[in-house]
Structure 1
Amino acid sequence: MDLSERQRHILYEFLNEENQMYTAEELANKYKVSKRTIYNDLQDIREWISSKGLELCIKPGTGIWVNREKNDQETICKIKNELSDFKPYITPLSKEERVKAIISILLKESDTVTISDICSRTGISRTTFYNDLNDVENWFKRFDLDVVRTQKKGVALEGDEDNKREAIISFLTENLDESQMLSLLEINNNYANTMKKPGDNIVIDLFSTYLSNINLEPIKIFVNESQKALGYRFTDSAFLALVVHIAMAVKRIKDGFNITIDEQKLNFLKQNPEYEISKLLSKKIEKEYEVAIPEAEVGYITLHLLSGKINQSYKEELNPSLNNCVATMIETAGSILGMDLSNDEELSKGLNLHLSATYNRLMLGMEEKNPLKDIVLEKYAQLYSTAKIMAEVFEKDTGYSLDDDEISYIMMYLGAAIERAKGTQTKKVYAVCPTGLGGAQLLVANLKNKFPDIVVKGTISMSEAESLNDPEVDAIISTVNFKNDNFPVISVSPFVSETDMVRIYNVLNVETSKFQSKRSANNLKIANKEEIPAFISIISDLACFVDRLKNKLAIKMSNETYLGLIIHLALRLSLSSKEKDLFKGQSFKLTNDKSEVDSVIYEEMKDLCKKYPFTIMDEDILAIKAYMSLNSEDVTK
Structure 2
Amino acid sequence: MRVRTIMLLKKLLSSPYPISTKSLSNMFNVSIRTIHNSIMEANDYLAGLGLETIKNVRGKGVCIRVSTKERSHMIENIFKDGYFFLEKEERELDLLLSFGFSGSPVFLNKKENEFSVSKSTIDEDMRRLRKQMGKYNIEIVSNGKKGCAFEGSERSIRTMLFDVIKKEIEIVNFQSDFFGQLSINRKILNNYISDSDINKVFDIFDSHFDTMGDELYKKQIVLFTLIWIYRLKKKETIGLINWGIMDDTDEEVDTKDYIASIIDAFNLEVSIIEKEYLTFIITSLNTDSPDTSVNWVNSQIITINLMQFVEETTGIPFHKKEEALYESLFEHIHLMIARLKSGVQVFNPILESIKKNYSEIYTAVQQYKPNIEAVIDAKISESEISFLAIHFSTIYTYLREESSLSYKCLVVCNHGIATSNLLAANLKKNFPEVDIVAVIGSRDVSVIEKLDVDLVFSTSSIDISEKPLIVVDPIITEDSLIIIKEFLDDNIQFGRLKINTDSYTNLFNEIVSLIDKRQSFFNEDDYKKLQTLFKSNGLKINLEEIQPMLKDKLNDSHIIMNATTDSWENAIEIVSKPLLDEGIITQDYVNAMIDSVKEHGPYIVIGKNLALAHARPEDGVNELGISVLKLKEPVEFGNEEMDPVSLVFCLAATDSYSHLNIMKELVSLINDEDRLDKLLSVDSTEEFKHILFESELKK
Structure 1 length-normalised TM: 0.46
Structure 2 length-normalised TM: 0.43
Greater strand share, structure number = 2
